[in-house]
Every structure is written in C-alpha cells, then in structure tokens.
Chain A
Amino acid sequence: MAAMYGSKETTPLLRVKNLQTGFKIDGEYYNAVEGVSFDVRPKQIVGVVGESGCGKSVMSLSIMQLLPDGIGKIRGGEIEFEGQDISVFSDKQMNSIRGKDISMIFQEPMTSLNPVFTIGYQIEEVILNHENLTKKEARLRSVALLKQVGIPRAEQIVTEYPHQLSGGMRQRVMIAMAIACQPKLLIADEPTTALDVTVQAQILELMKGIQEANDMSIILITHDLGVVAEICDEVLVMYAGKIVERALVEDLFRGPKHPYTELLMKAIPKMDEDVEELATIEGLVPSVVNMPPVGCRFANRCPKAMPECLTVTPQLAEVAGRHEAACLLYEESWPTDGKREREGVAAL
C-alpha cells in the first residue's frame, strides 16, 4: 500500500483515456466499453470487477488489440503505454509489445494452450519471438520459468503435452508463458475462475509473489470480490460498460459509495455471517443495443434511484479522499450543466 501512495507522482505505466470500444451488430456499432479512463502505476495490482457483460474483458482485449477483426473496434480514446499511444499501433508494432511488455493470461487454462505442441515448445516460442537466444538457451529458460511457477519435475514437463497436466498446472504454465519475457504489465482475465478454491489460493499466492519479484503491474479482471480483496491495491467497479466506482481496496470494502457496489457486496453469502435473506439486484443489465442514451445505466435497478437519475448522466468524480464514484447521490458526480439545471429546479 505504501508503495502505491509513494508512487502517486510517478508517471503511470498504462494510462487509458476515455476508451470506447464498439461491436458491430447488424451493420451498426454499439459501444460495449463507454468512456473508460484509468491509470495503472508501476508495481500496482488493479482489480476490475463486474458481472458478465459489463465490458471488463472487452476493455482488456482493447488494450491488447485482440478484438475480433471486423467486428470489434476501438472507436475512441487513447491507450498510453509508457507514454506512447498504442491504440493506433499497427499489427507489427503490437506484435513487438504483446508477450514482451504486456502479456495476458486467460480464464480457460484448458483451451488456451495448444494441444498439439509440447509445453516447452509453447514457452520457447514466446522467448524466441522476442529475444535473440538459441533454442538451447530458450529451453533452459523455460525450465527455469516452470520451476519459478512451482511446477515439479520441470525438466520432464517441458517435453509433455497440455492434456497430461491438471487445470492448476496448466494455469501455472500459462503464467510461465506470460512472464517469460519479464513483461511490465500482466493482464489476467479471470485467471482462477475455472479452478478449485484450494488451487485458486495457490495461483493467487504465486501471482503475488511474481509481481513482487519482477516489479510487474497486474490488471486483474474478475467477478469475485473475494479475489480482489485478497491481492489488489486498487479496484475499478464496472457496470454496463462504464466505471461506476474506483477506490483503494481497503476504502472500497470499508465503505462502498455506489449503490451497485454496495448491493454486490451484500449479495455474496459470507462464511462468518448468518443472514436469512441475501440482498438481490432486481432486473437485468440493459442490453448493449438498448443502452439508455442519458442518465445512469444502473437507474432501472437501483433502490436509491431518483427521478434525475434517468435524465442526468453521472460523472466519475472524487466523492471522498481518493475514492471516486459516478452516482448522483453525490454532489461531485453531477455534471456542471446538470448541476445548474438542478439549482434552477430548486430555485423555482
């Protein structure tokens, strides 16, 4: 935590500014990510939480430029990595960054490895792509990497195929591949969702250890608030393509500011509490083709909604010390023109 406060002035490693990513549906683009801005500082672990369809995965694919060709497109905003806008990079330029400076691990350790190549081959491929090493040196490096991620019998495992490993082991291999070139930023999209809890605990511990050893930053995308609480420094809460709350992890859990975050926390059954009835969020996330053009996107499900929530779009703004929320319950979230409107109403 201290590192984070200290690094407030340092330049961010990644700066996402007003990112808009759209998908083509019936010839027209609809934004799945709508004006998302955030920074990732060196050595920071930023958690992105939200339910399915909130845009968290699309956001990470946008950063990596891995959106499906011809369907998904970055339609606005900037993605600055070490001061350079990588959102306008060509495929070739991206190839030199992907896997080297920024790498990614995916949710499905079962399907993200190629079944017809050995584990060793797949790790060496990454290394040989980015570094001037011989095959022999690359093999030694991959054995060392496998040892670093806690795989026993690393010398034999390099010659084995993915199907010979368990889910937890495959996720370790994925991590070894991702950190092969010591990237500065690791994007982990639901890295532990497909794993059992005892294995999840191992993988989280491993990621934290590597992050410290390699001075790496991590963007951790997850739907599990428990995982966020466990290893993140800062949290972004996303809903329907927008960031609704952003805070340091302790502040968020001490007092969530956005009604959505609050309900999300009350909806999980806890081990040390007995409640007869869990909090629920009624209704559904508005579909991407049916987003309300103005107003808060959570308004139709929000128990604290006011009439203004349907007409005034809340802005993400600091509502307490280093704690941002986009909700009209807070004066700070009112847009400047909206504020005037409300004062006018009050004056009448």
Chain B
Amino acid sequence: MITRDFIQDRIDYLDKRENLLEIRNLKKYYPVTGGFFKRTIGNVKAVDDVSFSIRKGETLGLVGESGCGKSTAGRTILRLMKPTGGEILFEGKDITRLSGSKLQKARRDFQMVFQDPYASLNPTQMVGDIIAEPILNYEKRNKKELELEIKTLLKRVGLPEEAYYKYAHEFSGGQRQRIGIARALALHPKLIVADEPVSALDVSVQSQVLNLLKELQIEFDLTYLFIAHDLSVVKHMSDQIGVMYLGNLVELASNKDLYKEPLHPYTQALISAIPEPNPLKRKERIVLKGDVPSPQNPPAGCPFHTRCPVAMEICSQEKPALAEVRPGHQVACHLY
C-alpha cells in the first residue's frame, strides 16, 4: 500500500541522492568501408556528442524514431561497444576505457533487458539455467541455494516456481519478458538499461510489464535507462526524458515539463503525432514532411532543419548546442 508517509519519505530520499551515471560527450561512430581494401570512407554518427546524467533511483527515458541512435547509446553505455569518444562515469568511476577482467567486474552492476523476448532467451536452456548463468559467471554457488534463490526471483516477477524447469518456448511474450527481467535482476545490479522492453507486447501485457518494472525499481532501488519509441510509455516510466534525433540529444527535461511545454520543434511534432486514444480530444497535428535523413550523410547545421516547420537561415549553417533555457530544461535549437 502506498501511503502519504511513504511518498514523503521517498521524495526526501530522492532529493538527497547522487548521480549514479554520468555521460559526457558520448560519441559512437560506425565506420563505413568501401573499395578494394575496405578502407574507411565515412562514418555513421549513430551517437554524436550526447551528455546526460541519471540520479540514483531515477529513470531517464530516451525517446526517438528508428535510427536516431537511442539503442546504440544504451549499448555503448553498458560498454557492449567501445565508444568513439566521451566519458561514461558510473558511480563517479570512469568505465569508458575499462577492458578485460576489470570491465567484467564492473558489469555486475549494470544489466540489460532486451526488446525481443523471443530472440533474447536461449531456446535450448532451461529457464532456471538462463537466470543462473549471470550469477555463476561471478560466484561459485551451492546448487540447492541457488535454485531456491532463482525460484524466489521467478515468483517476484510474477511467474510460477515451476517455470524453473521449463523452456522459453513454453511461455507467452509477456512471460518471456518477465524471464528476461528476472535474469537482469539476478545479480542485483544498480543500473538496468531496458531497450524497448514492451514494444513487442500487446497493450494488456505491456501494462503488466510496465507496472512490474516500476515496482521492482522501488523494491530493489534500481536506476533505469529506459529506451523506447513510444513517447506515452516513456512518459509513464521516466523522471527525465531525453529526445534524440539523428544521433543528437535535442531536448532533455523532466517528464512534466517536456509534455507541458515541449520546446524543440521535433519534440512538438513527435507529441502531436501520437494518435490520441480519445476522439473527443482531437488536437492540432503537426505532420512532418519527408523521412529522417540518412545518418551517414546528415544535414549540415541543425540535423532537424530539413524537416523543421520553423527552420531559419542559421539552422542550415550552424549546429545548435544543448543549452538550459528554462530551469532543468535543456534544448538544442536556435529559436532559444
């Protein structure tokens, strides 16, 4: 039961906490090779100079359309890929250049929940073994104890104990995602990166998984980086929201501010494009022209100027920097 005291305690606690994760000027370029010798002839700037921080116990949502670099950002932060530039500070420690056993040791504290619950579970392994694997990577454990612990974990994510002995194909999409969540929780991590965790699920199941993630966050004191393309889902889950476009963070604000007063023209279009599930509240719609330009050949200046309804001359010449234009509300746009 959530009481008023509980909420007050939580607010007090949240006010005092520190940054768990700090990202400074993160860059990830994919080389494009060509010619006989496969020389690098260009770069796809999947993530270009992105900075943000997440405080302990908070959720930062990254939102954007396909190809905007939100998944690459998530994977680079987990160090599943080597960043091209920038710094990743986890609890104040620089993990950007860790490698080998040092990286493996650090990885215990950050885990990932994947998008596709069908592809991210090994079909030949028992669910119990899938969840045990990350633990056994780090610790020698008594078999009986471990089994008990995993069964408790399965129950916590809303699955029956018998799930331990079953295989992934015996479960529905929503249940598989619960298994994926249990696996991420197995090592009691501090940070979980959830990359589109509900986009493959039906709405009724989607809401179950979202509720579960929220409960677990409070219970295990988790920090989330929540990546999704669905702005209403991101808004439901996040304290802070970052909007990405073509590898750039174009707006960063608290979830209330972002919805109440979206400042970047792209965010405005994105919000207005969401079909309103209520025909009685039909709203003014900004329909953007054209498609997202190729990230291999992004437009000069502001990356959004080719589709921006309010583009000015300067927009095609100079790239705007992310700046705080209202307290706690950053935007990269020449309008401000």
- Residues of A bordering B, CB below 8 Å: 51-52, 166, 168-169, 196-202, 204-205, 223-230, 249-250, 253-254, 263-265, 267-272, 275-282, 284
The reply to whether A223 and B211 form a contact with Cβ atoms under 8 Å apart is: no
Q: What mask results when residues 266 to 308 of chain B are scored 1 for a CB within 8 Å of chain A, else 0? A: 0001111111111111000101100110000000000000000
Decide yes or no: A253 and B280 within 8 Å by CB, A197-B231, A269-B232, A269-B236 being known contacts: yes
Question: Taking the complex as formed, is B263 at the interface, i.e. its CB lies under 8 A from any CB of chain A?
Answer: no
Give CA–CA (A279, B211) in the complex, Å. 9
Cβ 8 A contact of B207, one of A197, A230, A254, A279: A279
> With A197-B65, A198-B65 known to touch, is A270 a contact of B232 (CB < 8 Å)?
yes
How far apart sit A269 and B207, CA to CA, in the bound complex (Å)?
Answer: 8
A226 x B275 contact (CB < 8 A):
yes
A202 to B205, CA, bound (A): 28
Chain A contact residues: helix, strand, loop or mixed: helix
CA distance A276 to B6 in the complex (A): 14
Contact of B277 among A250, A263, A270 (CB under 8 A): A270
Report if B208 contacts A (CB, 8 A): yes
A271-B271, A280-B211 in contact; A202/B279 too (CB < 8 A)?
A: no
Q: With A205-B287, A269-B210, A278-B211 in contact, is A51–B204 under 8 Å at CB? A: yes
Q: With an 8 A cutoff between CB atoms, is B80 at the interface?
A: no
Decide if the interface of chain B is mainly helix, strand, loop or mixed. helix
Residues of chain B from 192 to 220 with CB closer than 8 A to chain A in the complex: 202-208, 210-211, 214
Q: Which bracket fits the contact residues of B? A: 35 or more
- Of B208, B235, B259, B269, which contacts A198 at CB under 8 A? B269
Known A197-B65, A254-B280, A272-B259: A267·B207 in contact at CB below 8 Å: yes
Contact check, B291 vs A169: say whether CB atoms are below 8 A apart.
yes
State whether A198 touches B275 (Cβ < 8 A): no
Whether the pair B229, A197 counts as a contact (CB closer than 8 A) is yes
Chain B residue nearest in CB terms to A266: B207
Given A202-B287, A284-B172, A223–B207 Cβ distance below 8 Å? no
B-chain residues with CB within 8 Å of residue A229 when the two chains form the complex: 275-279
Determine if A250 and B279 form an interchain contact, defined as CB atoms under 8 angstroms apart: yes
Q: Please report which residues of chain B, range 244-266, place their CB below 8 angstroms from some CB of chain A when the two chains form the complex.
A: 259
**Are A52 and B211 within 8 A (Cβ)?**
no
In the complex, which residue of chain A has the Cβ closest to the Cβ of B289? A202
Q: How distant is A204 from chain B, measured CB to nearest CB, in Å?
A: 7
Question: Is there contact, CB below 8 Å, between A267 and B273?
Answer: no
When C-beta atoms are compared, the residue in chain B nearest to A192 turns out to be B275
